[in-house]
Structure 1
Amino acid sequence: MGVDDRSLSGVLIRDHNHITNLLVRLVTPGENRRQLADELIGQLMRHMVAEELFLYPAIHKILPEGTVDAARHHDVDGRVEQILVGLSEAEPASHAFDALITRLIAEGRRSVLDEELDVLPRLAKHGDKRTLIELGDMVNAFKDIAVVEKTCGAGLAIRVGDWVVHRWERSQPPAPS
């Protein structure tokens, strides 16, 4: 069974593939590493905030309680965010920059494998298809309007994401009583 491209899983997997492509290009000599790093930072920040706003709440609502270690996911996101801060400040030709890219690849690989081999398939199995497509649409809408600048950090992106969620919730029919 393939993943619906519009579903939450499809959107997040497409993000993972795009981020992986950026990382491959970053370790390739001759690329404009500063420009690629800045693009990667923006993509990853939007991705992490989208997971915070849409994936993690879906996990809590859809999957049996205690089957996903949310604290571990938040810890990984915290480590990745620290790496991104360091990456934004490091000179692309420096050993520190290369070390940060190596750490980012290691953290990302573990996180992506966990999501794509465990969490996302279980969401697809237990979740309502329509809801998962709506969540995927919300992630796309959020990413379209969320701009992450070095100076604003994740806080502004989270506020924009909250606005997207609020608009979606207002558009939903009332729950049956």
Structure 2
Amino acid sequence: MQDSDDLISVLTQDHHDLQQLRTELDYLTEFDGLRRSLVVLMVAETVRHSVAEETYVYPVIRARLPQGPALVDHEVTAHRRIERIMRSLSRPDLTSSEITSLLAELDAAALRHARAEEEELFPLLADHVSEDELVVLGRQALEAKEKAAIRRSLAEPGCPMRSEHIASGGTLVDRVRAYLRADAYPL
């Protein structure tokens, strides 16, 4: 478990972990194969994080916060923008410079999204949801995160996310979403 198991801490740590992964990608410009593998991991982890927010945060925001539905719609739009960039980034025919350009675009969109959540949305959530409930939700999110185990799954030789369907590139985001919805974050 983390230092704090409340939902806000769990998701904020995810933001930091994803930013660290993105930073690591900046240093791999000379190692194309490794860089592409790390891009696949980053896409999978980003989708896992988005699904966690959609499963544990957005229903609470929609139900409890003033203007909750509008806030959720805004956040979902940000997720879709990020996923659109990741779909482009997952194409197998990209040049190194195209990857660099898309990573910069992704970084800007993800940073805006994370800052908006951490500076605006999460404080509102903390004001409208009890600490005990945030801890319960955070522990549920951590359990689901463990079940999702994207890194472990991607390392397995027969991993369905590494199959020929994924190698085509365009469906990585959708396949990770489907995998998570079936196993870790069932509706």
Q: Normalising by structure 2, report the TM-score.
A: 0.77
Number of residue-to-residue matches in the alignment = 161
The residue identity in structure 2 corresponding to 1:51 is: E
Residue in structure 1 matched with residue 102 of structure 2 by the alignment: 100
| Cα distance in 1 for residues equivalent to 2:136 and 2:39 | 31
Using a 3 Å threshold, how does the CA distance of structure 1 residues 92 and 18 change in structure 2: closer, same or farther?
farther
Shift of 1:123: 1.1
Distance 1:45 1:66 in 2: 22
CA contact (8 A) 1:42 1:147 kept: no
Equivalent in the alignment of 1:159: 182
Match in the other structure for 2:21: 22
CA contact (8 A) 1:15 1:47 kept: yes
CA contact (8 A) 2:61 2:69 kept: no
1:86-125 mapped onto 2 (5 Å cutoff): 86-90=88-92, 93-125=95-127
Is 1:42 matched with 2:44? yes
In the alignment, structure 1 segments of 5+ residues that lack a partner are 166-177
Task: Name which of structure 1's ranges 145-154 and 47-56 shifts more when overlaid on structure 2.
Answer: 145-154
Where does structure 2 lack aligned partners over 5 or more consecutive residues? 151-160, 167-171
**Deviation for aligned residue 1:68:** 5.1
- 1:133-144 correspondence to structure 2 within 5 Å: 133-144=135-146
Q: Does 1:74 align with 2:76?
A: yes
Shift of 1:66: 4.4
Q: Distance in 2 between matches of 1:34 and 1:100?
A: 13
Q: In the alignment, what sits opposite 1:168?
A: none
Conserved 8 A contact 2:61-2:68: no
List per-residue Cα deviations over 1:92-126 (Å, max 9, x = no partner): 75222111101100110110110000111111122
Q: What SS does structure 1 have at the residue aligned with 2:85?
A: helix
**2:8, 2:138 within 8 Å by CA — same for their partners in 1?**
yes
1:7·1:134 contact (CA, 8 Å) conserved in 2?
Answer: yes
The verdict on how the C-alpha distance between 1:52 and 1:66 changes in structure 2, with shifts beyond 3 A counting, is: closer
Structure 1 residue 67: Cα displacement: 7.9
- 1:90 to partner: Cα distance: 4.1
Note the C-alpha offset of 1:49.
0.5
Q: Calculate the TM-score normalised by the size of structure 1.
A: 0.81
1:143 Cα shift?
A: 1.3
Counterpart in 1 of 2:154? Answer: none
Change in 2 beyond 3 A, CA 1:111/1:161:
same
Secondary structure of residue in 1 paired with 2:90? helix
Question: Among the aligned pairs, what percent are the same residue?
Answer: 27
